[in-house]
Structure 1
Amino acid sequence: MGIAALILTSFAVVGTGLVAVTHSGTKDIIAAANRAALEASLNRLVPAERYDNHVIDDRIEVVAPEWLGTDQPVAVYRARRDGQPVALFATPTAPDGYSGPIQLLVGVYADGTLAGVRVLAHKETPGLGDAIDEKRSSWILAFAGRSLTDPTPEKWKVKKDGGVFDQFTGATITPRAVVKATHKFLEYVQTHHEQLFAPAVGAKTAGQSSRP
């Protein structure tokens, strides 16, 4: 092998090693950034001072398409204080948005009261259905403090359907889908409260999960 070939081979080996090292380092940085972003999102619904556990590690996965709007596993994160349930968070889907599924982040206190709802992803029409996004309007903030009894079940609808929640001019389908999905998630939490808040096995080990 000539000197030129040896030099090229050496560069290739070194380059491959650098790419591998860079990828490994970047992967860890991305994972840490994603974790921090998730914690920040959860803490916008339930302040961090209200719980004392590692909420992201206190996690299970559930499959309940009739309540959660998807047949894929959904992660549920549990907040506790002194071992007692405080709240849980999950990302149910409103499958019947105007332009497709709407992914939500919902926080529910242990007493069944909504800590809040946020929209994580949607494809709704700009200027109409996208008012579900907190960046576009304050509509989504109206869920905080609500529960299965406030309003009563027959009022868990948009005003056009006889309920208490506002709709958008020219875009009733979108808020209707979010209201329906939020209500169904509250029903799921009430029905499975004991399993959802059961102590997680190895809760402080990131990535471990179970299914109630």
Structure 2
Amino acid sequence: MANKSMQKNGLLLALFAIIATFLVLAVEALTADRIKQQLREQTLRSLNEIVAPELHDNDLYQSCRLLQADALGSSQPQPLYRAFVNQQPSALAAEIVAPNGYSGAIRLLVAIKPDGEVLGVRTLEHKETPGLGDKIETNKSDWIYSFAGKVVRSEEDDRWAVQRDGGMFDQFTGATITPRAVVQAVKRATLYLNEHSERLFTQALPQCQATAENNATEANYE
């Protein structure tokens, strides 16, 4: 009897585990598109914040192309947005990754002028500690605004570090790892974008998937 009872309980537990797993997967599938849409809207808001309307007369999101470069912090191609005014290059913006945040990778958006001056940086996604590392968000702190107007002179530009490391950027009380990771990532990406800006404005690059899908949808309605 005891063995049968144990077997029955084991089967019930296995059944509940299967049902729970199915429910989790179903919720993920149902919310995946919504999450993608929210991320897209957040990226668009951030783009419009750091690349002002007067700096482009083209559709920034439709200009999205995929760029693969180690300097962007990922082995995967990252979105690159090219801004023009009267067909003249005015700004480059790229999604980049700071892989060494305190709680994992931090996704960022950085924009520069053709001369290398940083227009701005925004945080797109992170898992940093609430109350400490989350000060990279604009609604928690104005720290991220400190990148605007800065220029990376060279790879040896030691100003691009937190103050604890002798640099010009504040660190957070009790959380140096997060700002250090962000500063390093922005420096790396800014230097790359500046050094290759002329090519990046003209090079034929793969179209971002979301942009390609939107174009196909629009074409179907025409």
- TM-score for both structures, normalised by structure 2: 0.72
Equivalence for 1:94: 98
The structural deviation recorded for 1:51 is: 1.2
Rate the CA distance shift 1:55–1:123 in 2: closer, same or farther, 3 A. same
CA distance in 2, matches of 1:64, 1:147: 20
Q: Is contact 2:97–2:185 with CA below 8 Å preserved after alignment?
A: yes
Rate the CA distance shift 1:172–1:36 in 2: closer, same or farther, 3 A. closer
The structural deviation recorded for 1:149 is: 3.1
Could you give the per-residue CA deviations for residues 125-176 of structure 1, whole angstroms, max 9, x where no partner exists?
A: 11111111111100000000111139x8111100000001000111100000
Q: Is contact 1:117–1:140 with CA below 8 Å preserved after alignment?
A: yes
Across the aligned residues of Structure 1 and Structure 2, the Cα RMSD in angstroms comes to 2.7
Q: State which of 163, 172, 175 in structure 2 corresponds to 1:171.
A: 175
Equivalence for 2:108: 104
Q: Is contact 2:115–2:194 with CA below 8 Å preserved after alignment?
A: no
CA distance in 2, matches of 1:133, 1:31: 19
1:43 is the counterpart of 2:26: no
Number of aligned residue pairs = 178
Q: Is contact 2:120–2:148 with CA below 8 Å preserved after alignment?
A: yes
Point out 4+ residue stretches in structure 1 off by more than 3 angstroms.
29-39, 199-203
Q: State which of 115, 121, 124 in structure 2 corresponds to 1:117.
A: 121
Q: Which amino acid aligns with 2:52?
A: P
CA distance in 2, matches of 1:95, 1:37: 20
Rate the CA distance shift 1:39–1:200 in 2: closer, same or farther, 3 A. farther
Q: Is contact 1:157–1:165 with CA below 8 Å preserved after alignment?
A: yes
Q: Is contact 2:67–2:205 with CA below 8 Å preserved after alignment?
A: no
1:63 is the counterpart of 2:64: no
1:195 is the counterpart of 2:209: no
Equivalence for 2:77: 73
Equivalence for 1:14: none
Rate the CA distance shift 1:170–1:86 in 2: closer, same or farther, 3 A. same
- Higher relative contact order at CA 8 Å, sep ≥6: structure 1 or structure 2? 1
CA distance in 2, matches of 1:45, 1:201: 23
Q: Which amino acid aligns with 1:189?
A: L
More helix by share: 2
Q: Is contact 1:59–1:200 with CA below 8 Å preserved after alignment?
A: no
Q: Is contact 2:74–2:96 with CA below 8 Å preserved after alignment?
A: yes
Equivalence for 2:212: 207
Over the matched positions of the two proteins, sequence identity in percent amounts to 46
Rate the CA distance shift 1:192–1:48 in 2: closer, same or farther, 3 A. same
Q: Which amino acid aligns with 1:192?
A: H
Structure 1 unmatched ranges of 5 or more: 1-26
Q: Which amino acid aligns with 1:175?
A: P
1:54 is the counterpart of 2:59: yes
